[in-house]
Amino acid sequence: MIKKPIKNVLWVCFGNTSRSPLALGLSLWLKNTKYKEELKEIHFDSAGFVNVFKTAQPETIAYLNTKNVDFSNFRGKIMDKELLKKQDLILVMESYHLKRLLRKFKHVKNINKRSFLLLDFAGEKENLDISDPVNFGIEVYNEVIEAVERGVIKSIEKIIKINKGDLAPE
């Protein structure tokens, strides 16, 4: 079961360069605009299994710029046991990576009760995986941006409800 209140949220994708930094940037945008009061006590972070590029992808940075979120100084990170132990909620982009996370970090206390697919946690029922858009062109990237944004918004609204006691934790 998710610890209540949710204070620490980690967004996870494979390389921590496109999807999870996008989710992080969008959550910071919501924290600084629409949900200032509701999210003021929540810390958001992102990580990956590897970090090939070290920075966010140009498409991610460009999209976040449209939301007035400056991500030019973002540096990706690789998740580890210590980072995962601190999280109340871990939201992953693909089912394969969720399985990998649960297998690789099975000794982290309650990892299986705090880790979910982003779109599943957001309440969607179909097409729950958000594939990696790197090297697939802007059309694919735009589809990924839409899915991540939809998932982040719905997940943050759910987190707010859980923290207010309006919704039981998973």
Digit-coded pLDDT (tens) for 112-124: 999 999 999 999 9
> Is residue 166 scored above 90 in pLDDT?
no
Specify the amino acid at residue 121.
F
- Rounded CA gap, 165 and 117, in Å? 22
**Token digits of residue 22:** 């996008």
Condensed to tens digits (0 to 9), the pLDDT of residues 21-80 reads 999 999 999 999 999 999 999 999 999 998 777 888 888 999 999 999 988 889 989 999
Q: Which pLDDT does position 1 carry in this prediction?
A: 59
Q: Is residue 3 part of a domain?
A: no
> Is residue 134 scored above 80 in pLDDT?
no
Q: Is residue 57 part of a domain?
A: yes
- Give the position of tokens 């309650």: 110
Q: Which pLDDT does position 141 carry in this prediction?
A: 82
Highest mean pLDDT, choosing among 10-14, 70-74, 128-132 = 10-14
Q: Which pLDDT does position 144 carry in this prediction?
A: 87
Q: Is residue 93 part of a domain?
A: yes
Strand duo 8-13 + 89-92: pairing = parallel
Q: Which pLDDT does position 169 carry in this prediction?
A: 64
Q: Is residue 1 part of a domain?
A: no
Q: Is residue 170 part of a domain?
A: no
Average pLDDT over residues 133-151: 86
Omega before residue 5 within 30° of 0, cis: yes
Q: Is residue 39 part of a domain?
A: yes
The better pLDDT of the pair 170, 113 is held by: 113
**Containing domain of residue 83, as a range?**
8-164
What's the structural domain count of the chain? Answer: 1
Q: Is residue 37 part of a domain?
A: yes
% of the chain exceeding 90 in pLDDT: 72
Query: What CATH number does the domain containing 95 carry?
Result: 3.40.50.2300
The better pLDDT of the pair 57, 150 is held by: 150
Q: Which pLDDT does position 56 carry in this prediction?
A: 86
Burial per residue of 134-156, b for 16 or more beta-carbon CB atoms within 10 angstroms, e otherwise: beeeeeebeebbebbbbbbbbbb
Q: Is residue 98 part of a domain?
A: yes
